[in-house]
Amino acid sequence: MWVEWRYMRKRGIFGPTFLLLLMSLASLVGTLPGISGEPTTIIVPDHYSTIQEALDNANEGDTIFVRNGTYVETIVINRTVSLEGESQEGTVIRIPESERDIITITADNVTVQGFTIRGTGLNWQGIWIRSSHCLVDGNIIEHVREGVFLDGRAHSITDNVVTNNCIRNSDDCGVLVWSSTDNQIESNNITDNKWGVYFFSLGPKATRNLVENNQIINSINAGVVLDLHSSSNIIKRNRVSSNGWLGDTYMSGIVLNVQSVANQILYNKIDNNKRGIYQYYASSSNSIHHNSLTSNGVQVYHEDHPEYPSVNVWDTGYPTGGNYWSDYVGTDLFRGLYQNETGSDGIGDTPYIIDADNIDHYPLMNPYSPLPADVNEDLIVDIQDIALVALCFGSCPTHPRWDPVADVNRDNQINVIDTALVASKFGTKWTPL
């Protein structure tokens, strides 16, 4: 290099060889993590021995890849990065006993993926999210106070996704959603927590959140709680099982408490809970249908304030009907809107009466199973289903437009076959038979 330098000085400092040298030096510097402006991957412990050190030296958009091992630290993520563990069970983040929260996220668009996040039982949050558009995917989160806390107390947060996690043995909630909107809690195993998924609203409401396709099992107090004005949320296609038996509050599968209104509770399997559904204090206008309520100690527990009754909708009319109740004792000999025409129709001939304000007019004789090709599961195959397939057309599971519900024949590609299947069922309405 020295020879080169002298040679260049003779020829003038801005000669082409010197520029080439500068460029190659720049590209060398660019490969060092955290220095260039381009997104890079920082590896722990290769580049930095702790995750927090790697984060402190990361740029927006960087990926921090953490090799298998146990990392005893608390982590604050205050810039947009993707934090990825080498393997869910092999990459463990533990917390010193005296510390409070394991991972705190204050930046938007952060991903945390592929870790075991383990508390000592004395800590607070496993993952504390105070920002929007974050993804928590494929982690085991255990022995903390709240597994994942979506915290909209200080300012509104929105559009976070919590998916494919095992969240267990929390002293309080598996997932706590506080005054936060449009979040998705999907396809998680949420087991053995004090509360499974808890929505709470002080100030802004917890609203338009989706809880779909989760296993919510063995919660001490309750599986899903919609509390204090938590409204317009969707609780859909979950298994809510064996909750409330060891608790002291609510003791139920799904709870609607204190003016929690206009929520949709549908297609859930609600079984073996101490109480299936609990409703209290003007929690009204909730739409509760096509659930299977099986072998709960009490199917619907109604502890109502006489001045503020809860009045809910328990069916979608005839012929799509209401819910399946394992303790329904009626028969199915008749059909029709008034159940007075000869012939069965899969709907009980007499209503399932919870109380004077809560009646399933068309109880199902058998548990609900979905209508083939009803992509958006609104009980009819129509143009909306065609449109949903069109939106994902040409995609496969790794594609950004992929949506598994649009893969009607479940062959991991969305193509003309799926379109044809929807078209062949066009106009079909779900009925119990």
Contact residues: Ca ion, CB under 5 A: 332, 334, 345, 347, 349, 374, 376, 378, 385, 407, 409, 411, 418
Nearest residue (CB) to Ca ion, 58 versus 408: 408
User: In the structure encoding, which two tokens stand for residue 39, read together?
Assistant: 């997104």
Q: Is 387 helix (H, G, I), strand (E, B) or coil?
A: helix
Cα-atom radius of gyration of the chain, to the nearest Å? 27
**To the nearest whole angstrom, how small is the minimum distance from the Cβ of residue 239 to Ca ion?**
23
**To the nearest whole angstrom, how small is the minimum distance from the Cβ of residue 344 to Ca ion?**
5
Nearest residue (CB) to Ca ion, 262 versus 333: 333
**To the nearest whole angstrom, how small is the minimum distance from the Cβ of residue 373 to Ca ion?**
8
**To the nearest whole angstrom, how small is the minimum distance from the Cβ of residue 427 to Ca ion?**
11
Nearest residue (CB) to Ca ion, 74 versus 409: 409
Nearest residue (CB) to Ca ion, 19 versus 433: 433
| Torsion angle of C-alpha atoms 346, 352, 357, 358, degrees rounded to 10 | -70
Nearest residue (CB) to Ca ion, 184 versus 376: 376
Nearest residue (CB) to Ca ion, 25 versus 333: 333
**To the nearest whole angstrom, how small is the minimum distance from the Cβ of residue 323 to Ca ion?**
15
**To the nearest whole angstrom, how small is the minimum distance from the Cβ of residue 324 to Ca ion?**
14
CB–CB of 117/91 below 8 Å?
no
Nearest residue (CB) to Ca ion, 142 versus 374: 374
258 Cβ contact list (under 8 Å, min separation 6): 227, 228, 229, 280, 281, 282, 283
Cis, bond preceding 351 (omega within 30 deg of 0): no
Q: Taking the CB of residue 254, how many other CB atoms lie within 10 A of it?
A: 33
**To the nearest whole angstrom, how small is the minimum distance from the Cβ of residue 164 to Ca ion?**
22
**To the nearest whole angstrom, how small is the minimum distance from the Cβ of residue 402 to Ca ion?**
11
Q: Is 247 helix (H, G, I), strand (E, B) or coil?
A: coil
Distance set, CA 246 to CA 146, 249, 360, 375 (Å)? 19, 10, 29, 38
CA 121 from chain center: how many Å?
Answer: 24
SS (H, E, C) 302-364: ECCECCECCCCECCCCCCCCCCEECCCCCCCCEECCCCCEECCCCECCCCEEEECCEEECCCE
Give 169's Cβ-side CA count (13 Å radius): 12
* Short-list 150, 281, 260, 132, CA closest to 205: 260
CB–CB of 29/35 below 8 Å?
yes
Nearest residue (CB) to Ca ion, 22 versus 387: 387
